[in-house]
């Protein structure tokens, strides 16, 4: 039950980040790393939106109970034992 609630909170926060990107820009300003690596036009806006989408994705993984399986899959190249 706790993971479902945590997942819902992440989905809501991620949705708010995506919807209120301009508010984030006005209050927190531009992020140099986003500007340097995501392009000159809207680099920070795109970065904020990508963070929001990542939060939504992780939240959905928690809600569905797939977080452990996803992490096992994503980290399997690092944890694979070669014999």
For the chain, the domain total comes to: 1
d(CA 53, CA 40): 21
pLDDT at 59: 95
Cβ atoms within 10 Å of 67's Cβ, excluding its own: 17
pLDDT at 1: 81
Helices (H), the chain: 2-19, 21-28, 32-37, 43-64, 67-79
83 residues of the chain, pLDDT tens digit each: 888 999 999 999 999 999 999 999 899 988 888 888 887 677 889 999 999 999 999 999 999 999 888 988 888 888 877 65
Residue 20: domain span: 2-79
Q: What share of the chain is helix, strand, coil (3-state, %, to 5)?
A: 80, 0, 20
Q: Tell me, what's the pLDDT at 78?
A: 85
């Amino acid at each position: 039950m706790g993971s479902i609630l945590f997942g819902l909170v992440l989905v809501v926060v991620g949705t708010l980040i995506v919807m209120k990107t301009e508010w984030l820009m006005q209050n927190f300003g531009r992020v140099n790393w986003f500007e340097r690596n995501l392009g000159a036009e809207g680099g920070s806006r795109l970065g904020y939106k990508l963070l929001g989408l990542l939060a939504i994705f992780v939240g959905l993984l928690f809600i569905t109970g797939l977080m452990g399986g996803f992490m096992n899959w994503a980290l399997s190249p690092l944890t694979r034992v070669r014999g």
